Structure 1
């Protein structure tokens, strides 16, 4: 089968046309053929769009569940990123690797946490996904949820025993990144759950220092109310400027 058949395969996968797809499969089309230098298969295309019926049909007819694109994205990663929980379920039920990751080490639960896709996060966790999975820079699912302000995801991860103090390669904790990025609700949640307000990065920066540096007055007040030490480094100078400007 040539270019025309390839186009038909990807068109049917992208539009959830299972009738056409069944016809192509009956004619013997290779469901694992790729399109372009990106190395995308019909399964990747269907997972991207959230077409669960198409995904299931492809898997039942020989689609490689853990096949990756040229950039290292498996269908599970793609579906998790887009928040398509039913597709995620189908992929795992057909033997998908729950810990499959991109070249940078990012897994499905990491990207789902970063995007705030709480139902995907819950399902992956329920299936045994590693809550401490991290990129090459050691950023965990909780770190990304904190960074992006996805409170429901963060609360679920903490309730599921994710490590509150797990830090990135430079020593940044979820509380520090939430403070730096201006996420006051997240900061409150993390503190209430027991995050250490005095934890330091490798360069000595604390959550209070980072919040003061970025002009996050509300967060500075929160941290001070919960016992953060304003004397460390030049934090007292930065905090003073916030209250006098």
Structure 2
């Protein structure tokens, strides 16, 4: 009798240890979540900068590239690309839509993607982007039309608004590298980056100051200006 009772307790103990080990393994497999991170991008004079791409890559992350909240559409309205800067997850597809009453000849000579196609009014075209990098867009019919696609494998990315702020949500509690990029960076100038300790995530906003920038001229005729 004593042996039987002891054997039952032993099996229960083994089962308990096994359950605990499984729970710990599941906990380790699921990254701990930290509070959202707000990044403020400014120029050297402290003014907020719009249209800056902010990416965050946690140390040791195996998360997939950031997923867009809505379909990626690069529109053409009043002979202007809308938006001016777009984040594209590596492997993502962008729809190019011509909402004008005139034709557009979309093209890019960037290293990350070389392509071109003509869009009649109300016509759309699509392109998949498999290589990370900056894709500068132009129009062979309207030289003043310029836009930039920032193709990235980073699991978290956003574009700053007029207030210079970008909000990154759901970051795991890990040391994280944050990078800020803007089309107006001088050619050859590396994008600024900062490492945020896991303990600092969820605190106050992170401010990133850009180096001296080239003028914000949307009339430039070289769409590859500022691309990598």
TM-score, structure 2 as length reference: 0.22
Structure with the larger helix share:
1
Structure with the larger strand share:
2
- Higher relative contact order, structure no. (Cα contacts within 8 Å, ≥ 6 residues apart): 2
Larger Rg: 1 or 2? 2
